[in-house]
């Protein structure tokens, strides 16, 4: 029996990290941790006010997520984190070397529409451009997969699981797109 992954579900705001993360965790049979819960109150206040976070704001947040992921090594778990920059993912990997990334990707219009229609979240759509500007996709030497966010949450989760299975037999990041036709 293989050791369960510690998976970081990443992507810009509105890609569905908070929806897909728990579904993926349930299918893997491991706990889920909401990345937003690791933010200090000051970060939430900045984002609520439409002020993008800078790296100094993010380091304590990433360290808290990394500590959670480290504690789940050999046990498995799923946590959400935008993890937009390579340096952020490197910091998470430094804390938990075995983590795997599931990068939720999609068309900007689709993501903006989803953001505009969600309720009770502190991240305004005005920050979406800064998220896309900051995003550095997974590189070939990073253990992870890119998963398209079109379709239902169940379809996205199924693509993520299939891509993770494929990753176990490969060393290159893979991209999971919806089936054609």
Residues in a beta bridge with 145: 102, 174
Residue of higher predicted confidence among 114 and 37: 37
Task: Indicate whether 1 pLDDT > 50.
Answer: no
- Identify the helix (H) or strand (E) that includes residue 101: strand 100-105
pLDDT confidence tier of residue 50, bands split at 50, 70 and 90: confident
40 within 8 A of 48, measured Cβ to Cβ? no
Locate 171 and state its tokens. 């060393």
pLDDT confidence tier of residue 113, bands split at 50, 70 and 90: confident
pLDDT confidence tier of residue 178, bands split at 50, 70 and 90: low
What is the pLDDT at residue 108? Answer: 80
- Identify the helix (H) or strand (E) that includes residue 7: strand 6-10
What is the pLDDT at residue 117? Answer: 63
Locate 27 and state its tokens. 């299918």
Mean pLDDT of 55-70: 95
- Compute the mean pLDDT over every residue in the chain, rounded to the nearest whole number: 86
pLDDT confidence tier of residue 119, bands split at 50, 70 and 90: low
- Identify the helix (H) or strand (E) that includes residue 147: strand 144-148
20 within 8 A of 9, measured Cβ to Cβ? yes
In whole angstroms, give the CA distance from residue 43 to residue 21.
Answer: 21
Mean pLDDT of 76-90: 96
Residue of higher predicted confidence among 122 and 116: 116
Summarize the chain as % helix, strand, coil (round to 5): 50, 15, 40
């Amino acid at each position: 029996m293989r050791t369960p992954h510690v998976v970081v579900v990443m992507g810009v705001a509105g890609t569905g990290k908070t929806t897909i993360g728990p579904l993926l965790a349930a299918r893997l049979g491991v706990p889920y941790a909401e990345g937003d819960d690791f933010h200090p109150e000051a970060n939430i206040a900045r984002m609520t006010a439409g002020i993008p976070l800078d790296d100094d704001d993010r380091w304590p947040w990433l360290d808290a997520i990394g500590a959670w992921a480290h504690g789940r090594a050999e046990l498995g778990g799923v946590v959400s984190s935008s993890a937009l920059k390579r340096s952020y993912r490197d910091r998470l990997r430094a804390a938990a070397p075995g983590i795997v990334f599931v990068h939720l990707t999609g068309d900007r219009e689709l993501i903006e529409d989803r953001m505009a229609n969600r309720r009770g979240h502190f991240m305004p759509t005005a920050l979406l451009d800064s998220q896309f500007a900051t995003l550095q996709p997974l590189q070939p030497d990073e253990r992870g997969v890119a998963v398209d966010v079109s379709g239902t949450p169940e379809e996205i989760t199924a693509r993520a699981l299939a891509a993770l299975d494929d990753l176990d037999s490969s060393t290159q990041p893979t991209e999971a797109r919806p089936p054609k036709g």
